[in-house]
Structure 1
């Protein structure tokens, strides 16, 4: 361990961190309510939020959160522009129906919360904003086609529990168990979890306070605008030209080799939990290489479906002034930092009057766990490189085949078959495996 990493040896466990710094992590109002309060969050970006399987998984997550913490959930909203308010049993059922019955071409934006009003920060909360499916067949002027039903963006789910919950071992287990459950239910492409300054529903008013808290405590995640991050985790490539007066001749919702990069895809950074979708694991050399690079007793590496969960230490760290930068976070960051955006956008909405996580501050904040001699984050390529060896992402049923060749699925026996590039890969209904994922075997003329 370097002198920089070892210059402070104080470690605040959650109980001590909460007891010592609760007020410093909060914004208390004159009526003794809180507009900002410390919590433990989970923010998950996932695909398939417009599809029936994704909606079923999303509903299962909301129902499980209700089983765990429903006694605290008294309010919420059942659509994007709905008024935040108290929810009776009838209101809760309307939220559930919104998740399960909203048409694919419309997004789902619902929330359940423990806050009594929109100006009070919740202790417990779960919310989502889903992607949408293309409502009809579309052909661009340049000729490329977008079929009806193709999903247009990623979805996100975010939940939070009070910091006090994880000061007890059973509460810590509840948080981790629910995070794993979410990863089991959804097609996760990335995300993170850890301590955060949870704001009231009117979060626009509290960006400066969230920034001030995050500047002081390195373990605090800036996340009141989490919905802005979904594009970062969503790679897209294209052919042709892209500009003010030009349009691509083809667009792909993945990184097709030898095409041009529209969005490379990045992770936000490292916290207690860092969730890596297949595309990010592949960039690090695959599961085995990632486990080898993070091989240390206090670091957890766990694969759940199409996501790897990396846990930096046995409990979330605050990174208080007397602690310095949490060493497990530094260790994990050494391996994962290459996945970050070298030129990130701001993490808050623009406000010229108050300091917040604008693009300049976001860059320094995301680099807070970098050591002084760390090399620059590599710039993404302009052309998608060929994929190495057998490291190819599995493909969810209902999606176009990204690469011609032989594929198979565990969802049914004798499933091996050849797909042409762009051919829709079918969904196996009623399978005990749940969602259908097609796995690459080899190309037509190679066994590699």
Structure 2
């Protein structure tokens, strides 16, 4: 519990509110999964099953639904949105998010979102599905089991190509004004995942994965390129801080019992470094082992007029 207690002590430093009390930056626990063929009816049905399961389990916390615009979430509005997505063609863009946020200006504590690729792109783009949970849900064994079960479920549902899970800054749906805060925090905490613009890497993460975090998801083709499951398990043998579990078409590598923020002066967490050493050849060269700040740097160069709303 020492790692969790340290995380609990640091968590307030990663949360920001507006003067009226609206939370605009939160520390959250995420799982983001990239997958192929999100444009097919079969995959869309699988994704909507994930949304229904999330709604059923966390519905008491969910307030809104985002599809073109924010609206109050009800079983009826959700089913209407799901039906609309399933009926779309292979080259129609769809996006859906269920959230605990009361508006697009507020950072959520619970959420599930998705964004699709086009049939036109075939295998040259990826779709994604992402969940957000409170970071302190990891405090209990039941919470950790629940989180791991969700990762395995999502991976199996969409036949995950790759992905990651861990600590991340959670920004509002209208996140542009708060990207500088995310950027500054990512520079201070090496284990913090930059994940506000998941869609921006959909065309880049084809032959490579984004990087390493507490949970690193690698599909079967990546496992084979690393020498196979037996080789990987042997590489991590003797390390009690790294666990490997399988899903239907790949592996999930967990670095440590709890995720770590990795304060800059302490360096990248040792377990994360050990995982990175083994999977480095399949990691995107433009990202660091624990979080990708490449995309956010590019955006900030285009948005030099942006200023921090909340001081660090």
User: TM-score under structure 1 normalisation?
Assistant: 0.63
Q: Distance in 1 between matches of 2:150 and 2:135?
A: 15
Q: CA deviation at 1:53?
A: 2.0
Q: Find the counterpart in structure 2 of residue 267 from structure 1.
A: 209
Contact 1:15–1:164 (CA<8 Å) still a contact in 2? Answer: no
Contact 1:49–1:130 (CA<8 Å) still a contact in 2? Answer: yes
The counterpart of 1:31, out of the listed 13, 17, 20, is 20
- What's the secondary structure of 1:48's corresponding residue? coil
Q: CA deviation at 1:303?
A: 2.2
Can you give the 5+ residue segments of structure 2 that lack an aligned partner in the other structure? 288-292, 308-312
Q: Distance in 2 between matches of 1:119 and 1:282?
A: 43
Question: How do 1:4-23 residues align onto structure 2 when only pairs under 5 Å count?
Answer: 12-18=2-8, 20-23=9-12
Contact 1:302–1:308 (CA<8 Å) still a contact in 2? Answer: yes
Q: Distance in 2 between matches of 1:285 and 1:355?
A: 45
Q: Find the counterpart in structure 2 of residue 55 from structure 1.
A: 44
Q: Find the counterpart in structure 2 of residue 346 from structure 1.
A: 294
- What's the secondary structure of 1:123's corresponding residue? coil
Q: CA deviation at 1:97?
A: 1.4
The verdict on how the C-alpha distance between 1:175 and 1:61 changes in structure 2, with shifts beyond 3 A counting, is: same
Question: How do 1:273-292 residues align onto structure 2 when only pairs under 5 Å count?
Answer: 273-292=215-234
Superposed CA offset, 1:73-120 (max 9, x none) = 110223xxx112322332122222133322223132111000001111
The verdict on how the C-alpha distance between 1:25 and 1:327 changes in structure 2, with shifts beyond 3 A counting, is: same
Q: Find the counterpart in structure 2 of residue 208 from structure 1.
A: 180
Superposed CA offset, 1:380-412 (max 9, x none) = xxxxxxxxxxxxxxxxxxxxxxxxxxxxxxxxx
Contact 2:26–2:169 (CA<8 Å) still a contact in 1? Answer: yes
Q: Find the counterpart in structure 1 of residue 144 from structure 2.
A: 172
Q: CA deviation at 1:278?
A: 2.3
Contact 2:286–2:294 (CA<8 Å) still a contact in 1? Answer: no
The verdict on how the C-alpha distance between 1:343 and 1:174 changes in structure 2, with shifts beyond 3 A counting, is: closer
- What's the secondary structure of 1:121's corresponding residue? coil
Question: How do 1:385-400 residues align onto structure 2 when only pairs under 5 Å count?
Answer: none
The verdict on how the C-alpha distance between 1:38 and 1:341 changes in structure 2, with shifts beyond 3 A counting, is: same
The verdict on how the C-alpha distance between 1:354 and 1:15 changes in structure 2, with shifts beyond 3 A counting, is: farther
- What's the secondary structure of 1:23's corresponding residue? helix
Q: Find the counterpart in structure 1 of residue 236 from structure 2.
A: 294
- Kindly name which structure, 1 or 2, has the bigger radius of gyration based on alpha carbons: 1
Matched pairs, number: 298
Question: How do 1:30-429 residues align onto structure 2 when only pairs under 5 Å count?
Answer: 30-78=19-67, 82-134=68-120, 153-234=125-206, 265-295=207-237, 296-320=239-263, 323-343=266-286, 346-348=294-296, 349-352=298-301, 353=304
Higher relative contact order (CA 8 A, sep 6+): 2
Q: Distance in 2 between matches of 1:201 and 1:326?
A: 30
Q: CA deviation at 1:165?
A: 1.5
Q: Distance in 1 between matches of 2:22 and 2:163?
A: 30
Q: CA deviation at 1:312?
A: 0.7
More helix by share: 2
Contact 1:301–1:308 (CA<8 Å) still a contact in 2? Answer: yes
Q: Distance in 1 between matches of 2:243 and 2:86?
A: 34
Contact 2:33–2:128 (CA<8 Å) still a contact in 1? Answer: yes
Superposed CA offset, 1:239-280 (max 9, x none) = xxxxxxxxxxxxxxxxxxxxxxxxxx2111110011112232
